[in-house]
């Protein structure tokens, strides 16, 4: 009989969002008459249609595939040159950052990339020779679950977390931006603007992480999926704005939350040639070399229409249309922040991120707040406990919604009184 990867069986109680869906289904089955009044501010999925420049580029690309003279088959596995050039120009060179087009790996999104990246890293717990890995808590569950699936952790711990991972608490006291650890570590995941807390890291704080990584020979996996939401130009939109980061960091980028590509599927990973890992025997190896090899073997790249859609995001029209999408969601975030504050709730985030992070009223747990908002106000939020032990006592509200729903959601927070 075929043998499975039994690390999957360690995954605690399933992924957060299936549990939310389950509770919403239980509620709607019990209350079918009011099911359509539910406002979903839970999952972080965009709601507005694609920018016009993207639609036009995709239509043209499909027509090209319909014609023998312009038809395209397999392209380069890591993306067409014009796409990688547009990315480098728009996201890096224009900001004074020296990233080369061949350090860009175009993909179907950063969730798959963060997962695939595990393939080029050692597996096993630290005691078995695997990486000592740090995550923030609360955390985007994908990083943790990927490590569990690869066998890099021990079993789940009651109350949240896994043995073998190092958790750095994000709290109101540190503004949800933990300082680097003092113990020896090999790999760390950072995500700013942050999902779920909406917190943003300052340039000096990120510089401390980069200095720490260089001094400790650690690798930073930097998730910048929400960089388009950074409003203040003094805040870093890429880790490569920090000198030396091109020797210690890889960066995951996504078009999901900027161009509204959650359904189109596209992102990219930056792996600078100078970033190294080591073999178990201590020999230093370029991660770029391994990642390149992984792409050559495991992928044939993403579709032609989607690559044309990416390039369209970097045209002047595409940029202006993306900027207005972001403005729309950020106005939603502002409305939600103010609604929370008006209710006397303590609130963070929503200033450089499409998420608002709210403290539950005193004595209320985050699943209690979830259940109260669902049953009394037909409002779905995300309980903070689903993002880790230190998410307990908070909930996340997503600004990805229609204006009408956001205004109504703000009013429904009264149910927590």
Ligand X SMILES: *Cc1c(COP(=O)(O)O)cnc(C)c1O
The residue ranges that bind ligand X (CB under 6 A) are: 44, 109-112, 140, 191, 195, 223, 225, 254, 256-257, 262, 267
Calpha distance 105→270 (Å, rounded): 6
- For ligand X, the closer of residues 28 and 328 by Cβ is 328
In the DSSP assignment, the letter for residue 374 is: H
Q: How far is the CB of 206 from ligand X (least distance, A)?
A: 16
- For ligand X, the closer of residues 27 and 189 by Cβ is 189
Q: How far is the CB of 195 from ligand X (least distance, A)?
A: 4
- For ligand X, the closer of residues 115 and 375 by Cβ is 115
- For ligand X, the closer of residues 142 and 292 by Cβ is 142
Label residues 86-97 b or e (16+ Cβ within 10 Å = b): bbbebbbeeeeb
The DSSP result for 204-251, as a single string, is: HHHHHHHHHHHHHT-EEEEE-TTGGG---TTS-SSGGGSTTGGGTEEE
38 Cβ neighbours under 8 A, 6+ residues apart: 24, 27, 28, 374, 378, 379, 380
Comparing every residue's Cβ against ligand X, the nearest one is 109
- For ligand X, the closer of residues 27 and 314 by Cβ is 314
CB contact at 8 A, 86 and 106: no
- For ligand X, the closer of residues 140 and 357 by Cβ is 140
Q: How far is the CB of 351 from ligand X (least distance, A)?
A: 17
Q: How far is the CB of 267 from ligand X (least distance, A)?
A: 4
Q: How far is the CB of 268 from ligand X (least distance, A)?
A: 9
Give the chain's end-to-end CA distance (angstroms, integer).
56
Closest by CA to 70, choosing from 359, 305, 265, 356, is: 305
Q: How far is the CB of 33 from ligand X (least distance, A)?
A: 33
The DSSP result for 52-97, as a single string, is: HHHHHHHHHHHHHHTSTTT------TT--HHHHHHHIIIIIGGGT-
Closest by CA to 273, choosing from 140, 117, 103, is: 103
Q: How far is the CB of 284 from ligand X (least distance, A)?
A: 29
Q: How far is CA 375 from CA 208, 385, 399, 401, in A?
A: 44, 19, 21, 20
- For ligand X, the closer of residues 125 and 303 by Cβ is 303
Q: How far is the CB of 257 from ligand X (least distance, A)?
A: 6
- For ligand X, the closer of residues 126 and 384 by Cβ is 384
């Amino acid at each position: 009989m075929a043998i499975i990867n039994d690390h999957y069986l360690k995954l605690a109680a399933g992924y957060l969002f299936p549990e939310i869906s389950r509770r919403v289904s239980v509620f709607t089955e019990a209350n079918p008459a009011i099911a359509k009044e539910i406002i979903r501010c839970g999952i972080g999925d965009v709601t507005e249609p694609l920018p016009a420049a993207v639609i036009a580029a995709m239509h043209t690309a499909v027509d090209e595939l319909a014609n023998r003279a312009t038809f395209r088959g397999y392209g380069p596995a890591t993306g067409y040159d014009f796409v990688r050039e547009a990315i480098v120009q728009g996201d890096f060179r224009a900001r004074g950052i020296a990233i080369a087009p061949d350090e860009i790996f175009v993909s179907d999104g950063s969730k798959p990339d963060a997962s695939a990246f595990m393939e080029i890293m050692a597996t096993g717990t630290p005691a078995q020779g695997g990486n000592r890995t740090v995550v923030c808590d609360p955390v985007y569950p994908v990083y943790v679950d990927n490590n569990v699936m690869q066998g890099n952790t021990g079993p789940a711990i009651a109350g949240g977390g896994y043995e073998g991972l190092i958790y750095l608490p994000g709290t109101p006291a540190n503004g949800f931006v933990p300082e680097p650890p003092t113990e020896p570590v090999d790999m760390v995941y950072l995500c700013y603007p942050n999902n779920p807390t909406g917190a943003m890291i300052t340039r000096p704080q990120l510089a401390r992480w980069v200095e720490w990584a260089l001094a400790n020979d650690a690798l930073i996996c930097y998730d910048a999926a929400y960089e388009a939401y950074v409003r203040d130009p003094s805040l870093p939109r890429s880790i490569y704005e920090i000198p030396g980061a091109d020797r210690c960091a890889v960066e995951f980028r996504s078009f999901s939350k900027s161009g509204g590509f959650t359904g189109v599927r596209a992102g990219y990973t930056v792996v600078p040639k100078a970033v190294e890992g080591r073999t178990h025997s201590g020999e230093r190896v370029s991660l770029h070399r391994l990642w390149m090899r992984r792409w050559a073997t495991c992928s044939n790249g993403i579709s032609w229409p989607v690559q044309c859609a990416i390039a369209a995001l970097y045209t002047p029209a595409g940029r202006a249309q993306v900027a207005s999408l972001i403005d729309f969601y950020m106005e939603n975030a502002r409305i939600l922040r103010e609604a929370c504050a008006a209710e006397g709730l303590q609130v963070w985030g929503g200033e450089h991120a499409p998420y608002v992070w709210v403290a539950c009223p005193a004595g209320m747990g985050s699943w209690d707040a979830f259940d109260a908002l669902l049953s009394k106000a037909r409002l779905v939020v995300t309980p903070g406990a689903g993002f880790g032990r230190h998410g307990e006592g908070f909930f996340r509200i997503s600004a990805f919604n229609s204006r009408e729903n956001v205004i109504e959601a703000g009013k429904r927070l009264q149910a927590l009184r």
